[in-house]
Amino acid sequence: MKKIIAVLLMMLLLLSGCSKKEEQKQEEQATQTTATITYVYGDKEIREELTPEESAAILTMMLGKSSYTVVPSCSFSEDISVTVGGVTLAPARDYCNIVKNMNTGKYINLTSNERTKLNEIFKNHGGKFPCV
């Protein structure tokens, strides 16, 4: 399972459009196979490791997705994010189906089902949306 997650993360990093130097740096960090969730909002301050299954689900959501630089009207923050292998992914704090790669500043569209799954993962750890 750890090898699969590492391979998925490396593929995500290669598809994210990072510079070669940044890709190499992030690939080296890809040995971290467990994602960490951060949810700092209101009276909650949550920082927890996700299960291997949740980590794999996060990576699967991002694989093969095109990223873009047009800035959406949604709000993003590292205080509401998932970090895996040194890559911080911040979902829109409202109900938009968009995630921001905080390392590259680019955005990734999610399907409604993927966004629902992402919300469930946050809920499993005490977070909830919207949080604006």
For the record, the structure tokens of 96 come out as 């938009």
User: pLDDT tens for residues 52-65?
Assistant: 999 989 988 887 78
- At the top level of CATH, the class of 2-124 is mainly beta
Domain ranges within the chain, ordered by starting residue? 2-124
User: pLDDT tens for residues 65-90?
Assistant: 889 998 889 999 999 999 988 889 99
Entry pTM: 0.74
- Close Cβ partners of 122 (under 8 Å, ≥ 6 residues apart): 37, 39, 80, 91, 128, 129
